[in-house]
Amino acid sequence: MSATRRQVLSTATALGAGIAFTGALSELFAGTAAARNLGHTGYGPLVPDPDGLLDLPKGFRYTVLSQEGRQLRSGEGRVPSHHDGMAAFAGRKGRTHLVRNHENRATASIPVPTVSGLTYDPQGKGGCTALTLDAHHRVLSERVAIAGTAVNCAGGRTPWGTWLTCEETEDRAGTNGYTKDHGFIFEVHPTEPHRTGAVPLTAMGRFQHEAIAVDPRNGVVYETEDAFEKPFGLFYRFLPDRPLGGVGSLRAGGRLQAMRVPGVPDLSTIQETGARFDGVEWADVPDPSAASTPTRFQDYGAGGITHAQKLEGCYWGGSCVYFVSSFARSADGSGADHYGQIWRYDPARRRLTLVVVFGPHTDVQLPGESPDNICLAPSGGLMVCEDGNGAQHVFGVTRKGEVYAMARGRQNIGTEAEPEWGEFAGVTFSPDGETMFVNCYTPGTTFAVTGPWRG
């Protein structure tokens, strides 16, 4: 095992991960991937930004689209804080529509403004805002898309062009001043938010949601749970009563199940890339509403259920769903330690495979620890938002398994003596693959990055 954190660990038995990005691609992680010199992979070394916002490789440039505290162009109030998960949707005449989460808790300084018809709980400070950009990335509009929710962390897009925003909390009415229960998923339309309103999709479960991915073939929705304390979160699937039914169809309900890997109660104990488990099972969640007991604590029978610490990013690629465990710490109660895993589940084969493990750290200034939000890159690899210690990066993982730095945050939210940088979140690409959009969580900043992307 490499002594350096921030590098993909792989072995000669590593299995390839078939990924599709605008068509079929070769394997994402192929063959053996030994530690590489991070300064000479990807797009080259990062160039310090004279404006102190975002370091990028030579030839790339950024535009600041939005910053917390400024006025929304709609006049509804200020741009909320804590920019998190995000997705980009194609519009007419070359326009791009962004939907952006705000992971605001009850103590947030800049809440999402409440708007009639779009507010779930007037005491909730989270929600989403929506931006419309022209073909040159000029912001044409910026408005509230949903308000009154709480701790909107990540989510995912649907095949019919909406965003599912996820509440990463289990707070009930009466807690932190809330007037309604929280811990739900909400559907958000990127251009017509009143079509979706502020309706919790209760059948999809009430727990500490993180991200989702939809199987475009049958409409099954996969969901991650970012639970911080033992017993840790579960990996779920939702079988909708109206699969692929379009806007609002998930309100019709469905069946929520949790993944059971026979003989594996804790995914953190699996350390070798390429490890494969066939015969994955799915157990019905006894009470998706968690009326008296959180879903991860519920009784799943003699076979038990499979847990994992910090289940975060989730996406669909090719014929499989991929999900991220950001880290595991035995000191917290996990069965072993790791600095990030990426798992692949193949529904047709009922097969779970550990694709990538990130290694232990010695240098917190290098990229590649604690992967969080994740997306496919134009090159066919991955772009991953880092949520670890020290310097914060958007880092890439090539199809050969190499890790490289794509961007580094420069906005110091600590002190000169003890600097600190906000995590990245919500990485996503424009429909044409020519622009990377990404958020800095604190101070809330949305960037558009252009340059010589390799497709």
Helix (H, G, I), strand (E, B) or coil at 260: strand
Phi, psi angle pair for 269, to nearest 5°:
-75, -10
- For 377-422, give the DSSP string: -TTSSEEEEE-SSSS-EEEEE-TTS-EEEEEEE--B-S-SSS--BP
pLDDT at 455: 58
Query: Which tens digits make up the pLDDT trace of 60-91?
Result: 999 999 999 999 999 999 999 999 999 999 99
Residue with structure tokens 């017993």?
Answer: 231
CA gap 153, 312 in Å, rounded: 9
In a domain, 76, yes or no: no
In a domain, 37, yes or no: yes
Q: How would residue 403 be classed by pLDDT, with cut points 50, 70 and 90? A: confident
CA gap 288, 100 in Å, rounded: 26
Higher pLDDT, 43 or 366: 43
Structure tokens at 37: 């010199």
Helix (H) or strand (E) holding 210: strand 209-214
**What is the average pLDDT across 377-388?**
80
In a domain, 63, yes or no: yes
Report DSSP state, residue 110: S
pLDDT at 30: 29
- Most confident option among 13-22, 23-32, 400-409, 442-451: 442-451
The number of domains in the chain is: 1
Higher pLDDT, 363 or 287: 287
In a domain, 251, yes or no: no
**What is the average pLDDT across 169-177?**
97
In a domain, 444, yes or no: yes
Helix (H, G, I), strand (E, B) or coil at 451: coil
Determine which of 283-287, 320-324, 372-376 has the lowest per-residue pLDDT on average: 372-376
The answer on pLDDT for 196 being more than 90 is: yes
The answer on pLDDT for 362 being more than 60 is: no
The answer on pLDDT for 368 being more than 70 is: no
pLDDT at 285: 98
Structure tokens at 251: 């309100």
Q: How many CB atoms lie within 10 A of CB 423?
A: 19
pLDDT at 334: 95
Cβ-based neighbours of 173, under 8 Å, separated by 6 or more? 179, 180, 181
pLDDT at 22: 21
pLDDT at 373: 85
The answer on pLDDT for 35 being more than 70 is: no
The answer on pLDDT for 210 being more than 60 is: yes
- For 297-339, give the DSSP string: GS---TT---BBSSEEEEEEETTEEEEEE--B-GGGT-SS-BS
Cβ-based neighbours of 319, under 8 Å, separated by 6 or more? 18, 217, 346, 347, 348
In a domain, 143, yes or no: no
**What is the average pLDDT across 182-191?**
98
Q: How would residue 184 be classed by pLDDT, with cut points 50, 70 and 90? A: very high
**What is the average pLDDT across 4-31?**
26
The answer on pLDDT for 33 being more than 50 is: no
In a domain, 290, yes or no: no
pLDDT at 207: 98
Residue of 207, 185, 160, 341 whose CA lies nearest to 268: 341
In a domain, 422, yes or no: yes
pLDDT at 290: 98
Domain of 15? 1-67+375-455
Cβ-based neighbours of 387, under 8 Å, separated by 6 or more? 312, 326, 370, 371, 372, 423, 424, 425
Task: Write the single-letter amino acid at 30.
Answer: A
pLDDT at 443: 97
What global pTM score does this model have? 0.90
Residue of 180, 98, 211, 213 whose CA lies nearest to 145: 98
- The partner residues of 409 in beta bridges, in order of sequence, read 54
pLDDT at 454: 78
